Amino acid sequence: MLLFARALTRTCKWLGILCEFTRAVQHSNRADALKRTAHRNVRTDMATATEFLEKCLSQGSSLEVALADLRQAGTSPIEAIKAIRSVLKVDLGEAKRIFSGSSAWHSENEAADLLHTQILTVLQND
């Protein structure tokens, strides 16, 4: 019975963490949706995030500005990392470092760091 209670407590902690993370992401997504509405037509002629990033950089934008434009155009974090990897010809680890260092993707990085910290805390307490 004691093991069942511990397992139930651990499950409740996980659910609480996931609910907090979901709320944070939903809040972030609502704000991003408002930004994307204003920039909806930015990406209509671009087939992929890679082409969009190439075009921004070829027009003389800095990488940081190009990544901000990519985000405003509604690109997902995974698409952005793939585009960085392809356009800059870097490996996956370097593309992730560039992505995580970008101020344009700061809210996603914070949400992921928060989730990571909470998971580690729960695991260390058990």
pTM: 0.58
Does position 82 have pLDDT exceeding 60, yes or no?
Answer: yes
Per-residue model confidence as pLDDT tens digits over 19-31: 676 776 666 656 5
* pLDDT the model gives residue 89: 95
Listing DSSP states for 41-85 in one string gives GGGTT-SSHHHHHHHHHHTT--HHHHHHHHHHTT--HHHHHHHHH
The residue ranges of every structural domain in the chain are 2-125
Nearest alpha-carbon partner for 70 in 93, 89, 88, 51:
51
Per-residue model confidence as pLDDT tens digits over 1-24: 555 556 556 665 666 776 676 776
